[in-house]
Amino acid sequence: MATRRLTGALALVLLAGLIAADLAQSPPDPFAAPPLLAWGSGQAAGGAHCAAAPD
Amino acid sequence: MSLAADPAPRLRTLPRAGLVLGALVLCLAVAMLAGARFGLLLLIGLGLGITLEGLRFGFAGPWRAMILRRDPAGLLAQLLAIGLVAVAAFPLLASAGAELSGAHAPVGPGMILGAFAFGAAMQVVLGCGSGTLVNAGSGNPVGLVALPFFAIGSFFGALHAGWWAGLGSLPLVVFSGQAGLGLTLAALAAVAVGLLVLARPDARRLPGRLILAAALIAGLALANLVVAGQPWGVVYGLGLWVAKGAAALGTDMSALPFWSAPTHAERVQASVLTDVTSLTNIGLILGAFGVAAWRGDLARPLPRLPLRAWAATILAGLVLGYASRMAFGCNVGAFFSGISTGSLHGWVWFAAAFAGSVLGVRLRPRLGLEA
């Protein structure tokens, strides 16, 4: 009988596929990374949030 | 039987150590690939996933328990967590200027309808924004099937969000300062008292497990705010994943509403490993998987559900994603983070989604999801 091992593993495979495809498409640049904490950084928050206005 | 006579604990030690080590290596790898902030955000997401799954802290289930059994424990824990976040988030937001932002959005008919639909759909699949991710990670097949459709719905919901917002809205109302915090805490306490009055007499209690979970969730949500500069959210990242897929397939994103706006266009171009909600979403899935593997829950057999249950799961997933964009967030981005950062829309979201949940609880058995 199939168990949650199958679906749990499938979730991980899909997630790994998403990240791998994205790494190939949009490789991150660690040298352009923001400071560790936004609080105290002097940089404005990005606004990429669920409550973002539909501008 | 003593532990010494049982070889199973020893046999489980290695895989469990592997889970912890794997999680830490993953966070370190993201920190090295994308930057320290992003590794830390993945760690926060893992913590959220571990807490939600490990201590069985949820949103859809507790609302269902209140509706069907007048058991308010899980909902009281949510209010406690929101109150704990508010106590720290209100002064942080007041002092940090533009470095930190709240989950603030206006109230309007589209927002209310979206919250109602989200509440109904989350009861159909018994998974909200965070719950669907946690369910998928822990091997729940309904969560796994709903998740990609949730993401697709979120993408299309963002495209149409402007139309829904165009139906009209009240001016943005944000409670702030000591008076705003006092009002928020008083309102949370009033809802808690109301729940206790409505509760079954033998259910008027808050188990220690849920108090611990509420404190941990609050701490991690505050860490998210301080590290990311924005409150904990879920649905933005899901829609972004589909937007990135659409861009990779050659879609002209500059022609699409929402995704062509500078902030979102930049996110579509950048790595998911630098997107706040994507990282915490990934952490939620991985954290839930780790807990399920740790506890041996992955050995549970998959349920046999009728075809209409799977059709309902797909439809509910689409509604969850689409409606959460109409409503400026889900149970996390609007209800939890909205209220805890002073937005009136969080309170209206709560009322509308709870009304939708009453409908969803009744729909669920009819759709074959309790077979």
Residues, chain A, total?
55
Identify whether the C-beta of residue B340 lies closer than 8 Å to the C-beta of residue B82. Answer: yes
Report the pLDDT value the prediction gives residue B148, as an integer from 0 to 100.
Answer: 98
Identify whether the C-beta of residue B329 lies closer than 8 Å to the C-beta of residue B352. Answer: no
Q: Which residues of B touch A34 (CB under 8 A)?
A: 35, 37
**In chain B, which residue's Cα lies nearest the Cα of A52?**
B328
Residue-wise pLDDT for B25-40, tens only, equals 999 999 999 999 999 9
Q: Which two tokens stand for residue B252?
A: 């002209």
Report in angstroms the alpha-carbon separations of B71 from B61, B64, B186, B206.
11, 9, 22, 10
Q: Is the pLDDT of residue B8 over 50?
A: yes
Q: Which two tokens stand for residue B162?
A: 């402007």
CA distance B297 to B67: 27
Say how many C-beta atoms besides its own lie within 10 A of residue B1's C-beta: 5
Alpha helix (H) residue ranges in chain B: 8-34, 36-54, 60-69, 73-96, 109-124, 129-137, 141-165, 177-198, 208-228, 235-248, 262-269, 276-295, 307-326, 337-340, 344-366
CB contact under 8 Å between B165 and A3, yes or no, is: no
Report the pLDDT value the prediction gives residue A53, as an integer from 0 to 100.
Answer: 84
CA distance B227 to B224: 5
Identify whether the C-beta of residue B120 lies closer than 8 Å to the C-beta of residue B323. Answer: no
Residue with tokens 């972004």: B240
When pLDDT is cut at 50, 70 and 90, the band that residue B16 belongs to is: confident
Report in angstroms the alpha-carbon separations of B59 from A15, B99, B135, B241, B302.
24, 29, 12, 24, 23
DSSP string, B35-53: -HHHHHHHHHHHHHHHHHH
**DSSP-assigned letter for residue A44:** P
Average pLDDT, integer, range B191-207: 97
CB contact under 8 Å between A3 and B241, yes or no, is: no
Average pLDDT, integer, range B177-186: 98
- Work out the mean pLDDT of chain B and round it to a whole number: 95
CA distance B70 to B89: 31
**In chain A, which residue's Cα lies nearest the Cα of B158?**
A54
Identify whether the C-beta of residue B133 lies closer than 8 Å to the C-beta of residue B281. Answer: yes
Q: Is the pLDDT of residue B150 over 60?
A: yes
B2-11 burial code (b ≥16 CB/10 A, e <16): eeeeeeeeee
Identify whether the C-beta of residue B47 lies closer than 8 Å to the C-beta of residue B284. Answer: no
When pLDDT is cut at 50, 70 and 90, the band that residue B15 belongs to is: confident
When pLDDT is cut at 50, 70 and 90, the band that residue B115 belongs to is: very high
Q: Of the candidates B22, B71, B89, which has an alpha carbon nearest to the alpha carbon of residue B228?
A: B89
Average pLDDT, integer, range B106-127: 98
* Portion 4-33 of A in contact with B at CB < 8 A: 4-8, 10-12, 14-15, 18-19, 21-23, 25-30, 32-33
Instruction: Report the gap between the CA of B300 and the closest CA in chain A (Å).
Output: 5
CA angle, B89 then B94 then B100, to 5°: 65
Report the pLDDT value the prediction gives residue B371, as an integer from 0 to 100.
Answer: 62
Query: What is the value of ipTM here, to two decimals?
Result: 0.97
**In chain A, which residue's Cα lies nearest the Cα of B335?**
A51
Q: Is the pLDDT of residue B17 over 50?
A: yes
Report the pLDDT value the prediction gives residue B229, as an integer from 0 to 100.
Answer: 98
Backbone angles phi, psi at B301, to 5 degrees: -70, 155
CB contact under 8 Å between A51 and B96, yes or no, is: no
Average pLDDT, integer, range B360-369: 96
When pLDDT is cut at 50, 70 and 90, the band that residue A46 belongs to is: confident
Q: What are the beta bridge partners of residue B301?
A: A3
Report the pLDDT value the prediction gives residue B2, as an integer from 0 to 100.
Answer: 41
Q: Of the candidates B135, B134, B139, which has an alpha carbon nearest to the alpha carbon of residue B284?
A: B134
Backbone angles phi, psi at B281, to 5 degrees: -65, -45
Residue-wise pLDDT for B270-305, tens only, equals 999 999 999 999 999 999 999 999 999 999 999 999
Please tell me the pTM assigned to this model.
0.95
Cβ partners under 8 Å of residue A50, min gap 6: B103, B233, B234, B235, B236, B277, B324, B325, B328, B329, B330, B332, B333, B334, B337
- Residue of B46, B99, B251 to mutate, interface with A, max A Cβ within 10 Å: B99
Question: Counting Cβ atoms within 10 Å, is residue A24 exposed (0-12), middle (13-18) or buried (19+)?
Answer: exposed
Residue-wise pLDDT for A22-33, tens only, equals 999 999 999 999
CB contact under 8 Å between A50 and B289, yes or no, is: no
- Residue of A6, A29, A50, A55 to mutate, interface with B, max B Cβ within 10 Å: A50
CB contact under 8 Å between B139 and A5, yes or no, is: yes
Q: Which two tokens stand for residue B90?
A: 């209100």
